[in-house]
Amino acid sequence: MAIDFTLSDEQLGLRLQAREFAETVLSQVPDVIAPIPDPLDRFRALKPFYQQMVDAGFVKGLVPVENGGHRFSNLQFALACEELARVEINTPTAILGTGLGTFPIITGGTPEQKERFLAPFVDGSPALAAIAFTEAAGGANFDHPDPQYGVQTFAVRDGDEWVINGRKAYTTNASGWDDEGADIISVVCRIDETKPPAESLAIIVVEKGTPGVTFSGIIDTIGHLATNSPYVDFVDVRVPVENLIGAPGDGLALTKGAFSWTCSSIAAAAVGKMRRAFEIAYDFVSTEKRSGSVPVIDHQNAGYMLADIKTRIEVGRYFAWKAADHFDKTGGLDRELSNMSKIYNSELAVQTVYDAMRLVGVDSYGDRAPLGDIMQDVLCLPIYDGGNMGVRRRHLHEMLRTPGYDPLAAAENRLSV
């Protein structure tokens, strides 16, 4: 039987729905946020667009059927992300952040925890979730085996409560629409400072309005201009003991699982951004002569570069699809293709947008051809959500060093280790 890359009617329908939604709704976002100087106000301006994503079923697509949603497969989510990110990156990022915050609950929570914590995400409200992962000092070594390093946010049990103290950064969505916090924040912490992550790393859910959670500043980024990236301080934050997801030590697998889930979606978003850059460059070289006798596209060097860009887009798309499909087929246990696709496509996008700018020339550095804005967005992709150097390549390196690593396994839909 031949390998078939044909999308099913359902998959194609989702892709077309996302494309139409992006063109009719998300296309309005850039003009809305452009005149707003404050990054937090830019984020707040996303709320009506996020609500429309809720109304269109994208947030319910994060939640399992048994909890009132219609959870997308990883492949379905990647198919939608390409279309959404092609037009606008901030609103889909808020959805992605909500997916990260709910992932540990969905994969490791009890039925009671799922019913309680996922309820806001199926009632039609613009609910937000966040994962408080990155330490203020950085997150690359969150799983350091020496207990004196790594995660420095701690939860200490006091009777029937956990008391959380620590500081996190780049906690997408965490401050919420009203500065009172996201509906839930899944806090990556340690419950014993003397034990390594395999025994002490945990995820504890903090609900909106819990005393002791404060937001001490917003990181204003050069791209993703309406993405919410606050510092979050947890000072004697008390939550019930039943807010712990799984058991002590489970936080390691739950965190890695959450960030593996996002990989193919980021890889697909990179394809969307490359597509948009290609479209702009293609239109430019097809119509502009730049004081010459023929359109730019008639020159061989321009034509060859366009061919290379289009090839990268096709390669990146099918890699994202393969990684997403492999994640689904391995029950979310895949690490290899997930990490590889995020690394490869995010870095490919930076090179591709740069090459599109080279084709257009100096106009790409102004507002006549909005490639500069695209570049500001894609520059984030290799360094966020687990940076390619500090996290992603290290995880692959660890896999390559594992006895029994099978380099052909991923190609044959098996786990590599």
Amino acid symbol at 319 = F
Does residue 385 carry a catalytic annotation? yes
Q: Where are the alpha helices (DSSP H) in 118-262?
A: 197-200, 250-261
Neighbours of 137 (CB within 10 A): 11
Q: Which two tokens stand for residue 390?
A: 């500090």
Q: Which residues contact 330 (CB under 8 A, 6 or more apart)?
A: 413, 414, 415
How far, in Å, CA of 182 to CA of 173, rounded? 6
Crossing angle (nearest 10°) for helices 90-108 and 263-287: 160
Tell me if residue 142 falls in helix, strand or coil.
Answer: coil
CB–CB of 328/73 below 8 Å? yes
- C-alpha distance from residue 162 to each of 171, 235, 236, 402 (Å): 21, 12, 9, 36
Burial of 188 (0-12, 13-18, 19+ CB in 10 A): buried
Torsion sign, CA atoms 92, 262, 205, 396? negative
Find residue 234's DSSP bridge partners: 166, 213
CA distance 56 to 50: 10
Angstrom distance (rounded) from CA 321 to CA 324: 5
* Nearest residue to 119 (alpha-carbon basis) of 208, 227, 213, 218: 208
Considering 178, 363, 385, 406, which one is annotated as catalytic? 385
HSE toward the beta carbon, residue 225, CA cutoff 13 A: 18
Tell me how far apart the alpha carbons of residues 223 and 221 are, in angstroms, rounded to a whole number.
5
Catalytic residues: 385
